[in-house]
Structures are given as C-alpha cells and as structure tokens.
Amino acid sequence: MALVAGVDSSTQSCKVVLRDAGTGRLVRSGRASHPDGTEVHPSAWWDALQVALEDAGGLADVSAISVGGQQHGMVCLDESGEVVRPALLWNDTRSAKAAADLVLELGAQAWADAVGSVPVASFTITKLRWLAEHEPDSVARTAAVCLPHDWLSWKLSGSTDLADLATDRSDASGTGYFDGHTNTYRTDLLVRALGKEVRLPRVAGPAERIGQHGSLLLGPGAGDNAAGALGVQTGDDVLVSLGTSGVACARSSVQAADPSGLVAGFSDATGAFLPLVCTLNAARVLDATARLLGVSLADLSALALSAEAGAAGLSLVPYLEGERTPNLPDATGALHGLTLSNATQANVARAAVEGMLCGLAAGLDALVAQGVSVSAVRLIGGAAQSEAVRRIAPTVFGVPVTVPEPGEYVADGAARQAAWVLAGSDEAPAWELGEAAHFEGAATPGLRARYAVAAGKHLSVPR
C-alpha cells in the first residue's frame, strides 16, 4: 500500500491528510493553527506544516505529497531565497486603491480578456503595485515572487535555488498576471504593477512531478479552491466553500471573462477552468456573531434554527472584513430592521446565517450570468459543519444542497493530486467518497430582496 499526503495551508490553519494512494482511505491526519492577521511571515506556515506533519505521524512512509494553499498571497524572495517581508494575504485590503488604479489604466474588459479576471485587492498583482508605491526598498530586494503553496512546495523540495520554484495553473490564475488560455505569464502586466521584472515559478502541468526529496515525490499543488474541487470530485456540480472566505465555483471548459469583476476566470487543477466568486466574509461572520451573543457555535446553530425563516425581518449585512464581491473594501457590517419585537438572540443568529448565505447566493447568480448552470450545490468548508447552515442554505440558494461527509476536502484534493502524480495516469484516481447528507427547502419569500436593500445601505469606513 503506497501512502500519499495532501496539505491544506489555508488562512486559519494547516491540515494534513495521509491517504492510501489506491483507494483514498484515510490513514492519518494532523493540523496546526496559523497566526491571525492579514500579513503573515511565511515561516509561520512552514512551522505550522511541521507541527501538522508531526501530528499526522510524519512523512517517512509517504511516497508523494502535494500542497494546496490559500490563493493570491504575495511572497517576495530575495536573490538568496530569503523572504523579503511578511506576505500580504488574499484578505488584506490595503491594495484596494492599487487595484482601482490598475483597472482604470487598462479598463475592466481588457483585464478580463487578458487574464480572465478584473483585479481586486485580493489579487497578487495589486499587492505588487502597493509594494511599488509604498516599499521601494522591498521592491529593490525582491528577486522572485511566488504564492503560499509555491513557497511551501519549494521548502519541501529542500531547494534554495529560485530556479526550482514551481506552481500550477490554478494558483497562477489568481495572480492577475497569468493567461490561462496560453498558460503563460503576462510579464508586461507584472512589470506594469511592480515596475521591474522578477523571477516567477515555473507553471507545471496538473500531474507533473515538480521535485523529489529523498524518495518523496512532490506534486505541483494547487490553489485551495481548485484543490477542494479535486477533493470533493465535483464533476459539473457547483461547489460552495464556507471557510474564512466564502466561495462559489464550478468546473468549466471555458475561461470566464467577466468585465463586471464579480466572477474570476480562474483555472482548475485538471487542465480546465474554475469560474469563481469569492467573498471575504463567511465562517468568521458566525464566529463573530457567536462572540457577540456570548454563545458557542453549536448554540448559535440551535438559536438560528429556533427562529422563523427570515429572522422576523432582521437582515445582517456581513461585510465584517470589508467585501470583495461586491468590491467594497471599506464596507462594514450592519444589522437592519431591528424592532422591539424581533430583537432576540435567535433572530440575530438566524440573520447572521442568512446574511452570510445571501452573499454567496449573489455569487451563484453571478455564475449563472456567466453561463454556469446551478441546479444543486455541494457545500464544504468549516462552516458547513453547522447544522443551521446546512438546513438554511437551500432556503437561501433556492436549490438542493449536498454536504459531503465532514472532511478536509482541500487537503484531500492535494492528496488525490499526489496519487495522480505517483500513478502517472492520464486522470486523477477515482476515490470512494463517504456518505453525503442532502438538504432541501423552499426559498424563503422576500428574504433575498430584503437583504439586497439592506446590503445596498452599508456604511463604508476607510481603515
């Protein structure tokens, strides 16, 4: 029995799964936390990976490993491979003005045509423009730019040579300087943002071996959402992930080019595309609401389910970290529709779940506008563990929702990729998935319209 390992180095934590390469059976797993904040030194990810690997019993008996990681984070390396400054993460909105400037310079349609997406503050390219404008010394020291998963793969390879940096299409497509049609970098766009050329990771094929450390083969890895789609074996279903970010995406044979900027035209981890909508506010909206109410997440779920659908007219606008879709980096959250009679813990809990899901429902609408058919949703990510989220989701999305057996689907997708690399086959191995739970429910009348009015009245406060 050969073992493969998959890593999910996500915003809040690092998770590792070790699976049987042939059957996909889970053999061991481990995890470790990441520090809070939107600016994190990559060494914290490496330290967390070591702890998670140790927790999972180590790699001594593992044949291949792949890393999935949070997308977009800007990792700058100097000529000797040292990190120049802490990485700016996908949810760091300081580059919002840089994003707006870049869009103004070329026009939204030109960006969508060139790289599949209109840049927002999350994208690496806007962080590079921010760096050029605010930290010229850091720019002068930067010899290479890569992404969180690229950096971790490179560290795992044991190399310190920048020439050995490698990435995959899915993560490259989130930079804002990668053309998914030709699978080549648009270095002209990178130079436009940063003001100089730098070394970029080689873009490996979906099942290409990018290195070897002793007998351990290294797969190309992927952005976390592409890895999640590979792990849950979505086929043509729409995937909604409720982690730190809220994501709605679907596999496609064509790259999206949405000039409205709502849908990002990313690539997937199999050689196809992954049109994707991402919000900044998902699981942590529930964390914050539970904190506000002084209850546990389990109690929050029970409270939400004890309230009537629609929370008796309360709407929670969940822009607690600003928002990315819609592009409102300075927006703040709000509770609308409070009255003496509806001011209960149960209604606030319900409004938090419904508000978070309404943000994702708008994302599903944007996918539909790009030609994606949404007849059912598969739900993953930390907040999919909430019974309230599972049961309320169909009443907000208006379609049935399937929740796969609880698991770490991003890490699983990375492990499946590692098994693919090991097998050298044309396609990723098909692994048995566990029992899924199915949820249905009629759409709550008027809920989304009322949310849309409330969301339109958000307050923007520059931070």
Ligand X SMILES: Nc1ncnc2c1ncn2[C@@H]1O[C@H](COP(=O)(O)OP(=O)(O)O)[C@@H](O)[C@H]1O
**Unique residue bearing structure tokens 């998902």:** 282
Choose between 90 and 397: whose C-beta lies nearer to ligand X: 90
Question: Of 12 and 159, which has the nearer Cβ to ligand 5SP?
Answer: 12
Least distance (Å) between residue 68 CB and ligand 5SP: 9
Q: How far is the CB of 243 from ligand 5SP (least distance, A)?
A: 4
Site string for ligand 5SP, 159-178 (x = CB under 6 A): ---------------x----
| Residue 249 · residue 275 · CB < 8 Å | yes
The residue whose two tokens read 């990723």 is 428
Judged by beta carbon distances under 5 to 8 A according to partner kind, the member of ligand X, ligand 5SP, none in contact with residue 117 is: none
Supply the minimum distance, in Å, between the C-beta of residue 69 and ligand X. Answer: 10
| List 2, 13, 46, 402, residue binding ligand X (CB under 6 A) | 13
Q: Give yes or no for residue 49 binding ligand X (CB under 6 A).
A: no
Binding-site partner at residue 122 among ligand X, ligand 5SP, none, CB < 5 to 8 Å by type: ligand 5SP
Q: Does 91 bind ligand X (CB under 6 A)?
A: no
Residue 367 interacts, among ligand X, ligand 5SP, none and using kind-specific CB cut-offs from 5 to 8 Å, with none
Contact between 38 and ligand X per CB under 6 A: no
If binding is defined by CB under 6 A, does position 11 make contact with ligand X? yes
Nearest one of 59, 273, 54, 15 to 158, comparing CA atoms:
59
Binding residue numbers for substrate: 71-72
Question: Which token pair is 307?
Answer: 């309230």
Q: Is 7 near ligand 5SP (CB under 6 A)?
A: no
Question: Nearest CA to 300 among 315, 313, 284?
Answer: 284
Minimum CB–partner distance for residue 332 and ligand 5SP (Å)? 20
224 a catalytic residue: yes
Q: Report the partner that residue 287 touches, choosing among ligand 5SP, ligand X, none (CB closer than 5 to 8 A by kind).
A: ligand X
Calculate ∠ Cα 295-296-298, nearest 5°.
125
> How many binding residues for ligand X (CB under 6 A)?
16
Site string for ligand 5SP, 238-277 (x = CB under 6 A): -----xxx-x------------------------------
278 binds ligand 5SP (CB under 6 A): yes
Q: Which CB, 242 or 257, lies closer to ligand X? A: 242
Q: What is the C-alpha separation between 120 and 277, in angstroms, rounded?
A: 12
Centre a 10 Å sphere on the Cβ of residue 137 and count the other Cβ atoms it contains. Answer: 10
CB closer to ligand 5SP out of 3 and 98: 98
Q: Counting contacts by CB under 6 A, is residue 318 touching ligand 5SP?
A: no
Q: Which listed residue (122, 124, 370, 417) binds ligand 5SP by CB under 6 A?
A: 122
Are the C-beta atoms of 79 and 143 separated by less than 8 Å?
A: yes
CA 266 – CA 221 distance, rounded (Å): 15
Per-residue tokens: 411: 């890490």
Catalytic residue (choose from 168, 224, 268, 287): 224
The listed partner (ligand X, ligand 5SP, none) that binds 90, CB under 5 to 8 Å by sort, is ligand 5SP
> Measured between alpha carbons, how far is residue 415 from residues 27, 109, 146, 441 in Å?
12, 37, 22, 34
The item of ligand 5SP, ligand X, none sharing an interface with residue 247, based on CB under 5 to 8 Å by kind, is ligand 5SP
Distance between CA atoms of 171 and 62, rounded to whole angstroms? 25
Query: Is residue 382 involved in binding ligand X (CB under 6 A)?
Result: yes
| Footprint (CB under 6 A) of ligand 5SP, residues 59-78 | 70-72
| Contacts of residue 220, Cβ cutoff 8 Å, sequence gap at least 6 | 66, 153, 166, 167, 168, 204, 205, 206, 207, 208, 210, 417, 421
Check binding of 274 to ligand X (CB under 6 A).
Answer: no
Subset of residues 222 to 261 that bind ligand X, contact rule: CB under 6 A: 243-244
Q: Can residue 287 be called a binding residue for ligand X (CB under 6 A)?
A: yes
From ligand 5SP, ligand X, none, interface partner of 402 (C-beta below 5 to 8 A by class): none
Site for ligand X, rule CB under 6 A: 10-13, 243-244, 283-284, 286-287, 297, 381-383, 385-386
Site for ligand 5SP, rule CB under 6 A: 10-11, 70-72, 90, 122, 174, 223-225, 243-245, 247, 278
Catalytic positions, written as ranges:
224
